[in-house]
Structure 1
Amino acid sequence: MEHEKVDREFRIMRALKDHTDFPVPTPYVLCEDPAVLETSFYIMSFVPGRIFSDPRLPSIPASQRGAYWSEATRTLARLHATDFRAIGLGSYGKQGGYYARNVRSWARLERQQAQVRDVDTGEVVGSLERIDEQVNWFEKNEVEDRVCVFHGDFKFDNLVFHETEPRIVAVLDRELSTIGHPLADLAHFTQSFYWPYPYGFVNAPPDFDLAGIPSIEAVQREYVETLARLVPQDSKLKMEWPIEGWDYAVAFGMFRRAVIAQGIHARLFKRQANSTFAAQRIVMKKVYNDIVLHYVDQSKPQTASQPKL
């Protein structure tokens, strides 16, 4: 599996570097000989710059933060607009059915993890609250299918900005990249707008500095407008604002995170996870799950709103 991930990362970086001007490090060589380092690896160029772990960008003056968010949003749209077939990535992933396939996969994993027992007490991890209702909601309200080059973990701490300018010089970490649905990437990138304080921006107090950060609506509009300029007029990737199916995309992203947090809970019960780290993620499991249930209860998956948590 690790070999496949390394090979895939190298492949997409090579395709983007050779055939587009998308900002990626230069991939030099892929080594698949286990005699060298006992595992596959690749060598890429070092790209100097700045990486921000906090989407509030506290080290950047408030008057400039919008420019950094705009650059990130436009860069994601550029990736999605790339003609993946034309650059040799036609077989990089299944072309269609991203949400249906992943709802099934994550639901199956959730059921497996729920049965894990604590090695000492015998306590079970347990299912996410109202999991069957969640899965039914996703299946009933699935959004229109679209396909694009999909990053899988597009966020600020995977972006290298120029040393002095609000310009991205490299996008990193394509471990989860595939051919997927553009809304899943965009919703993942903007999750801070939906997490409650202190994890995200919802219900944040005045001293939680959000000055200069654009609204979620502004980010959506910039993405939609940029994508429209980059793809052919008849492209199925083109979309209107408000984005149809946006709530579904946000809810799915939170569902995925809740299952991941449940998995950390399961590893803790098996004594395979650091207890302090795991405890923090177990708390987040309920945060993520509550956001999903907000959308399930709202029963209006086609509107773009924030959960009032």
Structure 2
Amino acid sequence: MSATSVDPRQVLDAVVLRKFLEDNGVDVVGDLSIDLISGGKSNLTFSVTDGVTRWIARRPPTGGLTPSAHDMAREWTVTRALGQTDVPVAPTVVFDADGDILGAPCTVVEFIDGSVIRTADELDQLSDDDVARNLDGLVTTLARLHAVDYEAVGLGEFGRPAGFAARQVKLWSRQWGIVKTRELPDVEKLVTLLSERVPDDARATIVHGDYRVDNTILDPNDPGKVAAVVDWEMSTLGDPITDVALMCVYREPVFDVVLGFDAAWTSPRYPSADEIAQRYVTATGNDLGDWEFYLGLASLKLGVIAEGISHRARVGASAEAGAEKASEATAEFIANGLRYLG
């Protein structure tokens, strides 16, 4: 096994997981088979089946962790609450909150049948009409998330929305200090500019924190319908425009370097970032505020995330071959952030 590969048998024990499911009232008819699902560069995602029923299990990476970036309790809490709304999520099954049973905090949810579009080649299997409807479905789903009354669904204590943007600037500055693989003075320059420009007022909603097409499962018969939004580990209560900006900055071609392949979401078959943002405005009736600030903050976040992926690869904790190259995108993301702020 290479230093950057993950053997599911070593990080998620099938016998222990079966007993855990059964102890929590889940009907398991046979021995479990567990397979690592490729494509993730953060929390590890596994397909679990007893030959009849299929589940999805998620747990943090095996090393190279950064504070708050792999919070399984966060995923569990928000998806359990959203199960009572019109935001599509996978129904929750069981949660080992402390990792005392499964060796690490681990969520298990129902399997959602559908397609995940990650690569440009996969996107090219869709017609132009399908791509247009897919974007409409993505924007509509994000608008639904931001419209949820978080108090009504029991998420009033899920985060601290007051001062969210300012804390995000500080958070990603701290994260940089943890994961950086070299000195990059422009990071501190961007942090300083962002700190001086934090918006005074902002709406408070549930934010996903990592929203783009490949963090959704699409209806198998309709790419315009989102069957489930996944990867909630960075969700919280905060400023919804941070979600919109991040979705748009992910459209930068340099994101392909982070992923290690030509991504669907960077494809020119989708509209420009500006058009996507305007579609969100149309769907919600809300303006984008200081849009350049939000684009700069998203660029800082993605630059640090790219660096963190390489950091984890270098300590042997990545599930993806070639992940150590992700930091090659960091400087461009940071430069873009400085450009947005003028």
TM-score range, shorter chain: 0.7 to 0.9
Match status 1:281 vs 2:326: yes
Relative distance call for 1:195 and 1:246 in structure 2 (3 A) is: farther
SS of the residue aligned with 2:71?
helix
Local SS of the residue matching 1:37: coil
Q: Which residue of 2 aligns with 1:253?
A: 298
From 98, 102, 109, the equivalent of 2:164 is 98
Q: 1:137 and 1:222 mapped to 2: Cα distance?
A: 28
Q: Could you tell me which residue of structure 1 aligns to residue 38 of structure 2?
A: none
Question: Structure 2 counterpart of 1:288, which letter?
Answer: F
Coordinate RMSD, CA, aligned: 3.2
* 1:17-32 aligned within 5 A: 17-18=83-84, 20-32=85-97
Aligned length: 267
Q: Which has the higher strand share?
A: 2
Distance 1:266 1:209 in 2: 27
2:44 aligned residue:
none
Give the drift of 1:189.
1.5
Deviations 1:238-268 (A, max 9, x none): 32xxx33112111111111222333445556
Question: Within the alignment, does 1:41 sit opposite 2:78 as a pair?
Answer: no
Deviation at 1:225, TM superposition (A): 2.1
* Contact in 2 for aligned 1:96/1:146 (Cα 8 Å): no
TM-score by length of 1: 0.75
More deviation in 188-197 or 269-278?
A: 269-278
Deviations 1:69-126, CA, capped at 9 Å, x for gaps:
0110110011011110111000001122121112112223324555xxxxxxxxxx43
Residue of 109, 131, 140 corresponding to 2:196: 140
Whole-angstrom CA distance in 2 between matches of 1:137 and 1:31: 41
Cα 1:262/1:84, change in 2 over 3 Å:
same
Q: Which runs of 5+ in 2 are unaligned?
A: 1-58, 61-67, 259-265
d(CA) in 2 for partners of 1:176, 1:71: 22
- Trace 1:45-84 onto structure 2 (pairs within 5 A): 45-54=110-119, 57-84=123-150
Q: Is 1:290 equivalent to 2:311 in the alignment?
A: no
Question: Is the CA contact (8 Å cut-off) linking 1:73 and 1:222 kept in structure 2?
Answer: yes
- 1:80 partner letter: H
Aligned to 2:216: 159
Q: Gapped runs of 5+ residues in structure 1? A: 115-124, 201-207, 229-237, 299-309
| Partner in structure 1 of residue 238 of structure 2 | 180
Contact 2:74–2:234 (CA under 8 A) maintained in structure 1: no
